[in-house]
A and B are shown apart, each in its own frame.
Chain A
């Protein structure tokens, strides 16, 4: 049955909204609406068809699969673009760091290498995959709900077709019925409870005296009818609750994944600490203001060696020995030459004094780049998504709550003990054949039918004329694969 409908699929195929799925259960809701009318004639606890049946079933109405799938598409597209951007940037930096080599370049390269969006890419991929999966699971939960609701339909309850049940309900309320109709109902009630002979006794009663029949009708309603109908109604309520709970569970799993590692999604958790440059005090590669980096050590391989001096010249730039004040240079600001330490102050080059926390060995300072380490990861990887999302807990499955199907296995004795029982000696008149019973339907003489079999029967008889049983697969406009 589950193959008969197409769930929500990217591109708009399949069901678009939960309303489309739920609408297929209309026959089941109508079934309950009709039988509730019988129930409400005698039951102390009335059932509100609109609130307890229709609205209850519509718990998940309004869910738009398409918008979720559009979100998934957007995330997948974003991931692709992000991946492409990262690849292009990495290609550019590979070339960059081939042409630019210095301690500052090393720091910059290190900073770039930490700007890896791996976790973010994984998380985007996970979300883009999980959202459609969630929609599929939601669809399956809804479809199961519809299927199970349709299985609850039946042609008769406690052996009585709806018209008979309605007439019995009228009789039980003391409503006026004709003699012939009364006898018809008595015959039916007798057949519903073999061994009783209400029909025969009523034939001896005065016209209008049908107290016995009224009591028998009440007993049938509060006995077999209540047993079966309340069971079906409870199953209906149960499958509604199960579907709601299952869908809630899938949504919890989805938002739990989106929330990220600690349950709270943050940029930091996905791309590291508040990203390097954001906290930088200097724009140039994140080196602190005054960092010697860019101007440090005139490049040995620079195409424009400092002051035209030969590359690798032992003579410091401008021919001024390192540490010696050179022309135009202040005495305390030695100009670095080729290979000069990274931390060489170069005020003469217009660069402020090196910060005190600058590490000459690494060419970095504690204030530089603030690139996050590589340890940040998205909390839930794709491999974590499986079990709790794919399958709802066993005890949440609708079938787990449906229990045994109602009907069939109820014994009914309208003349049995109890306040409404007929007086002793009023039964046992033997069976009478009565013409014209076809309109009352079959007597409830079928053997007991357990739930699973009932469902199968209902399914198997779909399409048979005159029966209301069926399943979701019979829904209007349903595509069959």
Chain B
């Protein structure tokens, strides 16, 4: 494709958005089943760090899924704008032709 050329297909973009958001939606949350007592009587001191580390992993997974979903949403917005602009141009062209 020549440099600075443009191509956009709102329908394809929306299809991509759907696939991306579906992928993001499949990412599950993950929660630890381990409680402080499960570390054993003398090792409960490690629990807080374990819980925090596990939660951070879970947060990161959710953050990635969220970013993926937002990316899909952005693609959708762009597709909408492309479609809208295209419509405006059609109207403008029609008005110009009718003038």
Contacts and interface: CB of A to CB of B under 8 A. Distances in A.
The answer to whether A binds B is yes
B16 A299 contact: no
A351 B82 CA distance: 11
Contacts of A91: 19
A350 B53 CA distance: 47
Interface in A70-124: 70-71, 74-75, 77-78, 81-82, 84-86, 88-89, 91-93, 95-96, 99-105, 108, 111-112, 115, 117, 120, 123-124
Q: Interface centre among A299, A309, A319, by most B CB within 10 Å? A: A299
Contacts of B56: 258-260, 265-267, 270
Contacts of B99: 327
Interface in B32-63: 32-35, 37-43, 45-46, 49-50, 52-61, 63
A296 B6 CA distance: 9
A117 B57 CA distance: 12
A137 B42 CA distance: 16
A299 B5 CA distance: 7
A275 B66 contact: yes
Nearest to B39: A63
Contacts of B9: 99-100, 302-303
A275 B71 CA distance: 10
Contact of A301 (B6, B50, B70): B6
A278 B61 contact: no
Contacts of B19: 88-89, 91-92
A478 B29 CA distance: 38
A68 B63 CA distance: 24
Contacts of A233: none
A317 interface: yes
Interface string A45-79: 00000000000001111111001101100110110
Given A71-B33, A339-B6, A244 B42 contact: yes
A165 B46 CA distance: 44
A1 interface: no
Interface string B63-93: 1111110111111011001101110111011
B28 to A, nearest CB: 6
A275 to B, nearest CB: 4
A123 B84 CA distance: 43
A258 B41 contact: no
A284 B74 contact: yes
A60 B43 contact: yes
Given A58-B41, A284-B74, A258 B20 contact: no
Nearest to B93: A307
A319 to B, nearest CB: 7
A403 interface: no
Contact of B92 (A101, A112, A296, A307): A307
A338 B42 CA distance: 71
A300 B6 contact: yes
B40 A62 contact: yes
Contacts of A71: 32-34, 54
Contacts of B58: 78
Given A307-B93, A349-B88, 6 more contacts: A67-B34, A81-B26, A266-B60, A295-B82, A295-B85, A309-B93
10 contacts: A62-B38, A92-B16, A92-B23, A99-B9, A101-B5, A108-B71, A259-B52, A294-B85, A299-B8, A318-B93
